[in-house]
Amino acid sequence: MEKLLDRGSKLASRKSAVKNSAKNDLWGISGSFDIYNCTAETIRSADKIKQFVLELCDLIEMKRFGETIVVHFGEDEKVAGYSMMQLIETSLISAH
């Protein structure tokens, strides 16, 4: 199975961010990412979204809790799409 995440782009600054948050007595780290240039087949597939979450959790070394929830909804096809949620040991990952 082809990987969706490029291991070469591993979040090298993750350890630095964690270290800085601990040093500055911060409670947590929040990130927001605008993903672009995705193939339509990938972002319109519940299975590919679940695969992405598995790879992402491995990449950022987060322990998943429970199954990944992927739901397609929207009354009008213009606004319909997938949303995802994955609980992790310290928080959650979500996407839409």
Residue 55 lies in a domain: yes
**pTM for the structure as a whole:** 0.73
Tokens of 33: 């990412």
- The answer to whether the beta carbons of residues 82 and 68 sit under 8 Å apart is no
- Residues recorded for the chain: 96
Residue 64 lies in a domain: yes
* Residues 34-85: tens digit of each pLDDT: 878 888 888 899 999 999 999 999 988 899 999 999 999 999 988 999 999 9
Query: Residue 76 is part of which domain span?
Result: 37-96
Query: Which pLDDT score is estimated for 11?
Result: 52
Residue 32 lies in a domain: no
Residue 50 lies in a domain: yes
Residue 6 lies in a domain: no
Question: For the chain, how many structural domains are there in total?
Answer: 1
Lowest mean pLDDT among 13-17, 29-33, 40-44, 51-55: 13-17
Q: What's the angle, vertex CA 86, arms to CA 39 and CA 22, rounded to 5?
A: 110
Residue 27 lies in a domain: no
